[in-house]
Homo-oligomer: A and B are copies of this chain.
Amino acid sequence: MIIAMQEAAGEDQIQQAIEHLVKLGFEVHRSTGARQTVLGAVGAGIDFDIRNIELLPGVQEVHRISSPYKLAGRGFRPEGTIVELANGTRIGGQEVVVMAGPCAVESRDQLFTTADAIAKAGAKALRGGAFKPRSSPYSFQGHGEEALKLLREAGDRFKLLVISEVMEISQIQLMLPYVDILQVGARNMQNFNLLRELGKVRKPVLLKRGIAGTLEELLLSAEYIMAGGNYEVILCERGIRTFETYTRNTMDISAIPIIHKLSHLPMTADPSHGTGRRDKVAPMARASVAAGADALLIEVHCDPDKAWSDGAQSLFPEQFAKLMDELRMIAPAVGRKI
C-alpha cells in the first residue's frame, strides 16, 4: 500500500499515519520529497480497507499495490492451470473445449436428442439445468434430481462430461454423484457461503462472472473456493450489464485476455447468455476463440421454439454443427485446436 500525504501535512500528521500503519502490522518506508511525503506500507496481510487510511488527517491518497487475492493470481502458478477431467478432456490445454446443451433439462427425449447432436458435432461436455435461477417466482424452476439422473445417463451414453448449476448449499451433496463440473451462476458469484462450501468439494467448479462483477471481484470469488483447498476453478465470462439495451448483456470479450494475464485459471466464454439472442451466438463464439478462450459454453436445443426457457438464445443443432466448423478454422490462428 502507498500513502501519499498532502503537501500541507505536518510532521505530526505524518508520524500519526506511520504509527497507525505500524499498529495494523505494516512495515513502513518513508520517502520525504521536496513537496510531499510518501509512505510505502507492506506486510500486513491482504485484507484491509484502504478507506480507513484515506480518512487519517493529512492523508491525500492511498493506493493498494498488492492484489487482494493470492491463490487465484497468475503468480501462484505462472505456468497456468489445466483442469483434467474424467474422459481425458483438459480445460486450459491446447484444445478449446466446447460444452453445449439445453438451458434446462425438460425431458428424456429432449436431452438425449440434443446430447446426441452435440456429441456428433464435437462437443466434449453436456450442459443442462436441473435447478434454475429464474427472476420470476412463477417461472419453471427445474426438475431437480430427476434431471441430474438424466444428465448422467446421457453423458455416459454419448461420452460427454456433465456440467450443471448448483444454486444452494443443500444441493451440493445431491449433485456430486451425477456431475463432473459444478457450475456457479452469475447471480451467485458473490454468494460467499456457497463458495466456501464448494471449497471443501474435490470436483471442478465453473464460476461465472456476475453481471456487475469486476474481474477483481471474480478472482476474489475464485479465491473463496481455492482457500478451502479446491484449486480446480474454471472462470467464465457471460456478459455484463451496461447502458446498451439491444442485447440482454454486453459480452466483455476483453475479459478473456485480461484474465489470462491476471490469473492462472482457465477462462471460458458463454456467448448464449453473453448476448441473449440466437443470431448473435455464433459471431460471439467465434470472437471468443479468436481472443483466446479455453472453453465455450453454448446453449443448444433440439427444438428451440418449444424450449421451456431461453429458447431465444439456443442454437438449432445444425447451427451448432456449422459453428463448430467455423471454430475449427479459427483455432489454429491462436495456436489451438478443437
- Chain A residues within 8 Å of B, Cβ to Cβ: 2, 4, 27, 29-36, 38, 40, 42-43, 45-47, 49, 51-52, 54-55, 60-61, 63, 65, 68-69, 133-139, 167-170, 187-188, 190-193, 195-196, 210-212, 214-217, 220-221, 223-224, 227, 240-247, 250-254, 256-258, 261, 274-280, 283-284, 286-292, 305, 307, 309-313, 326-327, 329-330, 332-334
Q: How far is the CB of A73 from chain B (nearest CB, A)?
A: 12
Q: List 22 A-B pairs, Cβ < 8 Å.
A: A2-B2, A2-B4, A29-B33, A47-B136, A49-B311, A52-B305, A55-B278, A68-B136, A136-B223, A137-B220, A214-B243, A242-B250, A251-B254, A253-B253, A254-B275, A254-B283, A283-B292, A290-B330, A326-B333, A326-B334, A329-B333, A330-B333
Indicate which residue in B61, B191, B250 contacts A63 across the interface (CB closer than 8 Å): B61
A246 touches B223 (CB 8 A): no
Indicate which residue in B52, B168, B220, B258 contacts A135 across the interface (CB closer than 8 Å): B220
B residues less than 8 Å from A292 (CB atoms): 283
Indicate which residue in B4, B34, B276 contacts A65 across the interface (CB closer than 8 Å): B4
A170 touches B169 (CB 8 A): yes
B residues less than 8 Å from A34 (CB atoms): 27, 42-43
CA distance A134 to B224 in the complex (A): 10
B45 touches A287 (CB 8 A): no
B252 touches A244 (CB 8 A): yes
Q: How far is the CB of A219 from chain B (nearest CB, A)?
A: 10
Given A33-B27, A290-B286, A291-B286, check contact A240 B244 (CB 8 Å). yes
Closest to A326 in B: B333
Indicate which residue in B188, B283, B305, B311 contacts A257 across the interface (CB closer than 8 Å): B283
B244 touches A214 (CB 8 A): yes
Indicate which residue in B167, B168, B290, B313 contacts A287 across the interface (CB closer than 8 Å): B290
